Amino acid sequence: MDPTPTILRHFASLKYAPPKGRFTVLAAFYLVDAHQDVEDQRVMVISMATGTKCLATKNYSKIGDVVHDFHAEVLARRGAVRWLLQEMTRESEWLVAHANDEWTLREGLTLHMYISELPCGEASTRATALLQTLANPQMAALKSQATADPQNISQGLARGREGYELLNRVRTKPGRADAPVTNAMSCSDKIALWCGVGIQGALPVSLGLRPIYINSITIGSVHGVEALQGAEKLLLEDCNRAFRGRLGDIALGDGYSIYRPEVTFTPSIFEYGRVTAPERSSCNEAMCWIANEATVEVLNNGIRRGTLSKNRALPALRPRVCKASLYVIYQRALAWRTGSDRMSGAITYHAAKHGGAGADSETGCDPAQAIRGQALRLRAYHTAKERLRGNNGPLHGWVRCTGDYETFVL
């Protein structure tokens, strides 16, 4: 089943379009219900986003009120995390709570992903090389291995599109060499990480959610693109290597393993994508929609469109998928689970992700609010993550955003 027509109809129903003369990327996460017989009813879109930009590291926020990376794939995943947290604040028809204080997707449900074009990074470097060589051979030559930073390469890292022909490298955004430096990792790298630890993130894990893996990834803008004709097999190999092949069979520890999503290309074209009008420039705006939310949210430079910088930290004006907003939903879910009035004490976002609400020696939380097995689950999650991103891991070279960016409290 190709979900793309359903995804594109859903996008059209949102009544959002990028500004005239701009292209963007569309991504979505959706559930498929094996118990439904009607094709359209089987697809439940839980999050959808557009976007092609990210912030320079110098503009990152230390209070969690700004979205740093607003590529469509990342925004859609953050929207999915918010949806999962919301489902954990109520009796859910999609998630099942078990007697051991753990949650899983309901039986018969599987998670899937759609992207309107090849994601940046490992999955698209050779496609980019093909397109660049045809459009601008001189620029393609400048991006060759000869111009890649030797120090970065020795660490397994490539910046942007440097060293087109280098494979099995983690890469940072953005692709343009003249753009400000950012610590945001490529979408290919983030998808690979999700194939090891799931898409749910640390906050839902601390509440008891088991890993939720992507079963399939459907990608557009390969079939029907003249410059890529005859390269489909090569590009499918690139995607399979980028998302799963380069991870090998590494042991990730208790409850985690490398999941291998099925990758397919769809002939359906997103009308606002770059292949429909190559002369257009990329859109500065990003859009995010989450199931059960009344409206779409449009972002510009990581904050809500129309919000003054001086007001961006106000709870009512923060982006729905920024760290601070997700932390609020997490605290509601924790209160719902424990029957308490939110966590006590000044608990940082970082402590909630790493220590758990019950480990008072690390976080200062009331131990009575602890969820059974919380500390062990978080330890297993971060162990798996470190085995993927650490010095000996398949994603070594990963640039960490450490320190002040997660030490805020609400």
Assigned domain for 130 exists: no
Calpha distance 325→309 (Å, rounded): 17
Contact 366, 360 (CB under 8 A): yes
**Quick check: is 164 in a domain?**
no
Residue 71 located in a structural domain: yes
Domain that holds residue 394: 4-122+184-400
Q: Containing H/E element for 129?
A: helix 125-135
Query: What residues contact 19, with CB distance under 8 A and at least 6 apart?
Result: 283, 285
Per the document, the length of the chain is 410
Q: Domain for residue 148, yes or no?
A: no
* Per-position DSSP letters for 337-390, written without gaps between them: HHTSSS--S---HHHHHHT-TT-HHHH---GGGPPTTHHHHHHHHHHHHHHHHS
Q: How far apart are CA 18 and CA 7, in angstroms?
A: 17
Q: Do 157 and 397 form a contact (C-beta atoms < 8 A)?
A: yes
Residue-by-residue pLDDT tens, the chain, 410 positions: 788 999 999 999 999 999 999 999 999 999 999 877 666 568 999 999 999 999 998 899 999 999 999 999 999 999 999 999 999 998 899 999 998 889 999 999 999 999 999 999 999 988 887 877 665 555 555 555 545 555 555 567 888 777 767 888 899 997 666 677 788 999 999 999 999 999 999 999 999 999 999 999 999 999 877 778 788 999 999 999 999 999 999 999 999 999 999 999 999 999 999 888 777 899 999 999 999 998 999 999 999 999 988 888 898 899 999 999 999 999 999 888 777 655 545 688 998 998 754 444 343 344 444 577 888 999 999 999 999 999 999 999 999 876 688 889 88
Q: 255 Cβ partners below 8 Å, 6+ apart?
A: 210, 211, 377, 380, 384
Distance between the two ends of the chain, CA-based, in angstroms?
44
Within a domain: 253: yes
d(CA 62, CA 8): 36
Q: Is residue 24 part of a domain?
A: yes
Predicted TM-score of the model (pTM): 0.92
Number of domains, the chain? 1
348 C-beta neighbours (distance < 10 Å), count = 18
Residue 51 lies in a domain: yes
